[in-house]
Amino acid sequence: MQPLIPVVLSGGSGTRLWPLSREKYPKQLLPLIGEDSLLQSTVRRMEGLTGVELGSPLIVCNEEYRFVIAEQLRLMETEGTILLEPVGRNTAPALTLAALAAMRGGDDPVLLVMPADHLILDISGFQAAVRKGITLANEGMVVTFGIKPDSPETSYGYIQSGEPLGQDGVNRIARFVEKPDLATAQAYLDAGSYFWNSGLFMLHASVWISAIGCCRADILAACRAAWDRGVVDGDFLRVSKEAFMQCPSDSIDYAVMERIAVGDDSLPMGAVIPLSAGWSDVGAWDSLWQVLPKDHHGNVSQGDVLLDDCHNMLIMAEHRLVACVGVEDMVVVETADAILVAHMNKTQHVKKIVDSLKRQGRPEGELHRKVFRPWGWYDAVDAGKRFQVKRIVVKPGAALSLQMHHHRAEHWIVVSGTAQVTRGDASYLVSENESTFIPLGTRHRLENPGCVPLEMIEVQSGSYLGEDDIVRFEDVYGRQEG
């Protein structure tokens, strides 16, 4: 019996959850509900699944997120495979790469495909549906899970169920339909045979390879070329960027599932399993408000928040006190560098703000003030003309790249821990309450040789202070930039 492998697709950007979610630190990496990030919650969703041999998770992600995801798996004490997409090409190529990776060595496991940025509250109910799906997948079917709708939702696609397939509640897929208008969504709800499209799938790896080869041979060919020219890079599986860039972009639904739904005899049968397990795609702030616990006035608050005469509010404060008086049906989200205030009914429009930030070339749409790196993180706490101040934390045993700057000098002050500093040909230790200076144009490296985090303050000065003013000579993480 082949194992069940969770395949976690982690390529989305979650722009409607700005300012918490940013392009280079999207919503699946955030602990929006509880202490775990959405990605960690997705991986944990399979813990305790009985009667099934469970393989290690396979995460498909963007290059930008690789070190953060590796660190989140490490904190979970979970071993997994991280497969890197050089560029985004939507879910069909992502699943094709995952299937090729799962089949290396001649295996043909069942894949449980899950978006990294969705929420499921009823884990036992979800696992019961998974057990039901394994039986169907082992019969060669492509299984999807339809969410029982409780409202005429216009932001989801729908699946229409067809004839019963023997198991209780399991039906053949009749068709996939796009996001409807309100009247159509109400008709779907009234019909009782339509489900929200969850984006969850289960099937054997070989079944997907056969189906994508039949429906989109161009996608399969590009993914095979990228996989065959790939390499193992430390903790990561890295496919050929040049080959993968030739791959067309398409979703699982468009590429394969819509053809399965119409009963193409050259494709496997599709089955939909009803799922009532507290599912949400957490696609916007109003959907997050719906699933979070509320006070007796319908308010959700996180952080340092004071409310008076407020109703049906979502308030999230990360750094400062947020006080609201006499307001209702609003979202207020405070971060170190941005504050969002929106009506609860307009949260789908937050993407317009992110698009505007991109057009203006502003960093707030792409990065948080606090930026994570494989060696730790930095927080740009202050900046002005010809200077910038950063708080830097380096993990034990970690090292920044050996580098040089053309336009800036740096002054380092150690707050706690011990720094190993390379400056030119010299190498020396800098201890707590000591400092050192790195002149413009000098090769340098910062390392943490200790067993506790190294915390320091960096003061940059010069004519240009951008992150692209880095010439790397050596890097233990294999980075060329960033």
Residue 1: per-residue pLDDT = 66
Residue 480: per-residue pLDDT = 63
261 has a pLDDT exceeding 90: no
Summarised one tens digit per residue, pLDDT across range 266-311 is: 889 999 999 998 999 998 999 999 989 999 999 999 999 999 999 9
Q: Give bridge partners of residue 372 from the DSSP assignment.
A: 377
> What is the Cα–Cα distance from 20 to 316, expressed in whole angstroms?
9
| Cβ atoms 141, 156 nearer than 8 A | no
Strands 471-474 and 419-423: unpaired
| Cβ atoms 97, 60 nearer than 8 A | yes
Q: What is the mean pLDDT of residues 158-167?
A: 87
The token duo for 39 is: 């990605």
Residues contacting residue 212 through CB under 8 Å, at least 6 positions apart: 92, 95, 96, 219, 220, 255, 256
- The burial class, CB within 10 Å (0-12 / 13-18 / 19+), for 188 is buried
Residue 409: per-residue pLDDT = 96
The answer, yes or no, to whether the previous bond of 19 is cis (omega within 30 of 0) is yes
Task: Give Dmax (Cα) for the chain.
Answer: 75
- Residue 129 gets the label, from left (phi > 0), alpha (psi -120 to 50) or beta, of alpha
The token duo for 348 is: 């789908």
The token duo for 367 is: 């990065």
| Cβ atoms 312, 344 nearer than 8 A | yes
Q: What is the mean pLDDT of residues 62-70?
A: 87
Summarised one tens digit per residue, pLDDT across range 111-144 is: 999 999 999 999 999 999 999 999 999 999 999 9
Residues contacting residue 365 through CB under 8 Å, at least 6 positions apart: 15, 18, 22, 23, 354, 357, 358
Residues contacting residue 19 through CB under 8 Å, at least 6 positions apart: 333, 335, 337, 338, 339, 340, 364
| Cβ atoms 237, 244 nearer than 8 A | no
Handedness of CA 466, 477, 247, 114 (dihedral sign): negative
Residue 478: per-residue pLDDT = 76
Q: How far is CA 446 from the centre of its chain?
A: 29
> What is the Cα–Cα distance from 419 to 229, expressed in whole angstroms?
39
Summarised one tens digit per residue, pLDDT across range 419-466 is: 999 999 999 999 999 999 999 999 999 999 999 999 999 999 999 998
- Tell me phi and psi for residue 410, to 5 degrees: -135, 140
| Cβ atoms 193, 233 nearer than 8 A | no
> What is the Cα–Cα distance from 34 to 292, expressed in whole angstroms?
10
Domains and CATH numbers, the chain: 4-280 (3.90.550.10), 288-356 (no CATH), 370-474 (2.60.120.10)
Closest CA to 212 of 247, 168, 172: 247
- CA quadruple 27, 28, 32, 34: dihedral, nearest 10: -170
Name the pLDDT band for 476 (thresholds 50, 70, 90). Answer: confident
The token duo for 225 is: 């070329």
Name the pLDDT band for 248 (thresholds 50, 70, 90). Answer: very high
The token duo for 4 is: 């069940």
Residue 196: per-residue pLDDT = 94
Residue 482: per-residue pLDDT = 44
The token duo for 15 is: 């722009």
